Structure 1
Amino acid sequence: MAVPQLHELSTFPIRDPEIDPPFSTRDPEAVPPFRPGEPAQPARFAYLRRVLSPRNDSTAPSKRSRLRARLPKFRAPNPPDRPTFKQWLRRCWLDILTQLLCILTAFIIYLTVPPLLTHYFPLYPGIYSTPWGLKHGQPYINEYINTTWSAAISFIVPFLIMLAVSGWWFNSFWDGNAACIGLGYALATATLFQSLIKIFIGGLRPHFLSLCNPPIPPAYGAIGQAPGAIWYTADVCRGDPHILREAQMSFPSGHACAAFAGFGFLALYLNAKFGVFGH
């Protein structure tokens, strides 16, 4: 499509709303309406030069400036939608009860249900010096951070960050409440599914052989086994049955599960609020 020349615009018969917008006294750069037969006005030429000239991309705001403009202003926490405790409890009691039931069920399964999958392991003279024995015969060492502390950290740190964002930046009680309820659901359901997977799949921990302390059978096989048999179950172990049950549930890791649920939800929350990715 041919672009009209500037000297032809004074007699241009048709008014184009994009080239010739309606005149507004509030916009000094707006162009007055075109009337056939009138001489072209300087404002019309200036406007058309600006519209028809190639856009200067250097004046476009950068991504950092757009992100900074999107960030809300910092304010003191005084949410106007803050309810009373009874109103909050009446609205959120079902969510709290559901999360508590998930956590309680997970702990009951983890502490009482034995592994459903039988784990076989080799056992023969010199097993401790083999690659399998070196992998699963590590000495037992207490955890530096147990599962309870890991779950507490995975909840408290995201909780405080989301509370600060919703209270100081967005000044909304229900925004922070929804974030905390979602965080609780993430950790509760992750704990429940983690316990179920440990029961159905599990796996031998690196210190299993040290806790099992099995009697090393002779080279021709143990009593009741076929000659040359090397595969055994935890029935031959001489350790504490409760500790041995826990030593067969290595997968998935409780620490990794809690950290992924808590901080993964925090990452999604911050991205939704500040538009770091995808906006």
Structure 2
Amino acid sequence: MLNHHHQSETIPAVALPTTANLNNGATVDGVHTQQPQEYPARQSTHQTLREGTYVGEPSTKGLGGLGGHEKMTFGKWIRIWGIDLLTMAAMGAVGLGVYEARPAPSRSFPIYFTDGQIVYPQFAYPLRHEIVPIWLAALLAFIVPFLFFAIFQIRRRSFWDLTATTMGLLQSLITAAVFQVFLKWLIGGLRPHFLAVCKPNITPELATSGTGFGGIMFDRSVCTGSDDEINDALESFPSGHSTAAGAGFVYLALYFNAQLKVFADYHPAFWKQIVFFAPLLGACLIAGSLTIDEYHNYYDVLAGLFIGTCTAFASFRMVFAAILDFRFNHLLLPRTESLFFRKVAAGTTTRFSYPLGTTGSTLGSNEKPLRSRFGVDAPFSREAGWAPGVPVEGAPGDALPSTNF
């Protein structure tokens, strides 16, 4: 009970999302007060395979797990992720088939003006070797993030965390790859070295022997070069290198931000900002190299980075509870069912709850805010109190106050 002589933190009655966890207090100066209970010890939202349990808060309300305390096995892991694995394999096969297909459009292009000058010198660069081959760009976009996911397990120690995060990365890369190969196939464009590999049999004297106004437009039928090289030179838009770099390295940057709390509720060490921007620099270097070896136009590169960034954001949000909200963006969303795994334990939910406590703006000037304590795991960073057992204060209005939705 609270009275005039008790100097404990007195909090006016407000509508809280966690009122079920508060005890009724007394009436002081006509104001009904409530005293918060002791918070339970922080529990992890996922249990590691090393501990022999599924991901999820064990058989409690709030964050649903995969069957509570049931033991994880490889077979169950396959059943949980099986539909995703099959979908990724199917999309990979579709992407490979489209990549090998002949360009769909029949583009027209001018070669010479009537005075013998080349119309588009930006497509007359010589064919060079790629500084970063496409296979290396795709490999780096996967291997580098995966290595950091594995390194961060030194502290997080969760096989489920590693596999779920990696599945999100793969989904980002595969979605971006399929998206861009369809654009290459159906839209495409001329590479900067197109005329060099086309080797048109048109001389300046025949500059007006084509079609269109003035007769200056031609199609690939005038090319005498290698058919494979011509096909490739007609599929410049968008850049596959840039798409892969954006899908992989932007995903890694988001992961760094979430785990290191680069943009959070405190002023972090400068090295964290460097770590956050490092993968973005890597993506820009891979993309920029394509303008040096003249394999892509600048707009091909920008389009590829945009596509990869979009799939990285989408895939990250499908795996984690938030993208930029520092309170939730390190928390894995529950994966409780799939097409091949329908078993959900009693007392669990398939939804993620976003609990919020009240903030200082709702309290008296001499009172500390009531902080919402999440039954969740901490991120990689331990700076500024980001550690197990430490509560996190929520900002007003930017998360749902309900315990389930």
TM-score by length of 2: 0.46
**Whole-angstrom CA distance in 2 between matches of 1:96 and 1:197:** 24
**Whole-angstrom CA distance in 1 between matches of 2:156 and 2:116:** 59
1:204 counterpart SS class: coil
Q: Does 1:86 find its partner at 2:79? A: no
Corresponding position of 1:105: 94
Corresponding position of 1:178: 164
Q: Does 1:163 find its partner at 2:137? A: no
**Whole-angstrom CA distance in 2 between matches of 1:95 and 1:164:** 25
Letter in 2 for 1:80: E
1:204/1:250 contact within 8 Å kept: yes
Letter in 1 for 2:151: A
Select the residue among 238, 242, 261 that pairs with 1:252.
Answer: 238
Superposed CA deviations along residues 235-266 of structure 1, whole A, max 9, x for unmatched, are: 21112222211101111111111011011111
**Whole-angstrom CA distance in 1 between matches of 2:86 and 2:116:** 48
Q: Does 1:123 find its partner at 2:120? A: no
Letter in 2 for 1:103: G
How far is the alpha carbon of 1:215 from its aligned partner? Answer: 1.5
2:123/2:194 contact within 8 Å kept: yes
Select the residue among 134, 143, 148 that pairs with 2:135.
Answer: 148
1:220/1:227 contact within 8 Å kept: no
2:188/2:234 contact within 8 Å kept: yes
Point out 4+ residue stretches in structure 1 off by more than 6 angstroms. 125-128
Size of the aligned set, in residue pairs, is 208
**Whole-angstrom CA distance in 2 between matches of 1:183 and 1:128:** 51
Larger helix percent: 1
Structure 2 unaligned blocks of 5 or more:
10-47, 54-71, 265-325, 327-405
Corresponding position of 2:400: none
Of all paired residues, the percent bearing the same amino acid is: 35
TM-score by length of 1: 0.66
The structure number with the bigger radius of gyration is 1
Cα–Cα, structure 1 residues 186 and 127, in superposed 2: closer, same or farther, change >3 Å?
Answer: farther
**Whole-angstrom CA distance in 1 between matches of 2:213 and 2:169:** 55
**Whole-angstrom CA distance in 1 between matches of 2:136 and 2:114:** 38
CA RMSD of aligned residues (A): 3.0
Superposed CA deviations along residues 96-119 of structure 1, whole A, max 9, x for unmatched, are: 221121111111001114233x32
Moved more, 143-152 or 179-188: 143-152
Corresponding position of 2:260: 274
Select the residue among 218, 223, 246 that pairs with 1:237.
Answer: 223
Moved more, 92-101 or 221-230: 221-230
Structure 1 unaligned blocks of 5 or more:
1-14, 24-76
Cα–Cα, structure 1 residues 224 and 184, in superposed 2: closer, same or farther, change >3 Å?
Answer: closer
1:203/1:251 contact within 8 Å kept: yes
Cα–Cα, structure 1 residues 81 and 186, in superposed 2: closer, same or farther, change >3 Å?
Answer: farther
